[in-house]
Amino acid sequence: MKIYTNDDVSPDSLKGERIAIIGYGSQGRAHAQNLRDSGADVIVGVRAGGSGEEKAKHDGLQTAEIADAVKDATIIAILTPDMSHAEIYSNIIEKHAPKGAALLFAHGFSVLYGRVIARADLDVILVAPKGPGDLVRREYQRGRGVPSLFAVDRDVTGQASRKALGYARGIGGTIGGVIETTFKEETETDLFGEQAVLCGGTTELVLMGFETLVNAGYRPEIAYFEVLHELKLIVDLLYEGGFAKMHSFVSETCKYGDLVSGPRIINEETRERMEEVLADIQSGDFARDWILENMAGRPRYNALMRQDLEHPIEVVGKDLRSRMSWLQNKANVEA
């Protein structure tokens, strides 16, 4: 498998390119600043008078309304939330994008599921850092980079790969390493990871562990520490060194419990449920449900979110976290 690094991508890959960053949220802010600091010609497309414009100007970036930002751009990075892509593209970008420009996404959802069908003369590419925008920016400032994926869905100009890899280098991706993928592979694996493991799977496992202990008569505060607070320690060890590092830092008793009890919790039935989740993603059922949910005003989403945020573990956790000075200091710094 080829992993692209700085040795494979010329520092002049973006020479002569004008990059319009559409949206100034987590990824947009990081990409725009990193590209600017890499010497690229960057303009941020935002709503006049909005918070994005204020932040971008504060960061020393040139801003304009989206229509004006894209009219001279050769790379147009759409970095607003997925559900906004179709409207922004069809109402603004499609009319104003120059012939032969490249549409760039950080997630393939809108292209894979037909939310954005690009004009026939436009390249369609993807650069997806494997980390949140704050990390992408922070690692770049340290002279490091977050590993990234890139893909080419359509290459009209013959320059799509060069632009994608140049952009990846500009945000620091080629320091961490860049792997080629497809819009389909990136989107489906990303959705599956979020739903089955990283967010959906993890939060449900934590909630069920908390409820099991509390229902058995243990105090909520103790349950919180055991199933949520200490999770960070384990995740950090896994992140830094895989199973081997995790096992080297926990007790023998913990390791034995891991090996004999883990498969009782996460078992073949869990695998079957995961396969069902993946099948819903691959068939497009999840995407259709999410698109229709947004069209209806998100009633189910809002009800489920409210249920999550009102769970007793949130009440207990908020109180306990307020006593953890290191968390308060971190929140103040990041704000």
**191 vs 214: CA distance, rounded Å:** 32
| Distance, CA of 40 to CA of 171 (rounded, Å) | 10
* 141 labeled part of a ligand binding site: no
Q: Which residues contact 104 (CB under 8 A, 6 or more apart)?
A: 75, 76, 77, 78, 125, 126, 127, 163, 164, 167
Q: Please indicate if the annotation marks 219 as binding a ligand.
A: no
Please give the Cα distance from 141 to 275 (Å, whole number): 40
DSSP sequence for 187-209: HHHHHHIIIIIITHHHHHHHHHH
Consult the annotation and say whether 26 binds a ligand: yes
Q: Any bridge partners for residue 29, and if so which?
A: none
159 contact partners, CB below 8 Å, separation of at least 6: 102, 123
177 marked among binding-site residues? no
127: β partners: 150
Buried b (16+ CB within 10 A) or exposed e, 309-322: eeeebeebbeebee
Task: Return the number of other C-beta atoms located less than 10 Å from residue 3's C-beta.
Answer: 12
194 is in an annotated binding site: yes
Catalytic residue status for 107: yes
Q: Is 251 annotated as a binding residue?
A: yes
Catalytic residue selected from 31, 58, 107, 247: 107
For residue 9, which amino acid is it?
Answer: V
230 annotated to a ligand binding site: yes
Q: 3-class DSSP state for residue 22?
A: strand
Was 166 annotated as part of a binding site?
Answer: no
**Residue 25 known to bind ligand:** yes
Residues labelled as active-site residues:
107
Annotated binding site: 24-27, 47, 133, 190, 194, 226, 230, 251
> What are the binding residues for substrate?
251
Residues in the annotated binding site for Mg(2+): 190, 194, 226, 230
As annotated, the binding site for NADP(+) includes 24-27, 47, 133
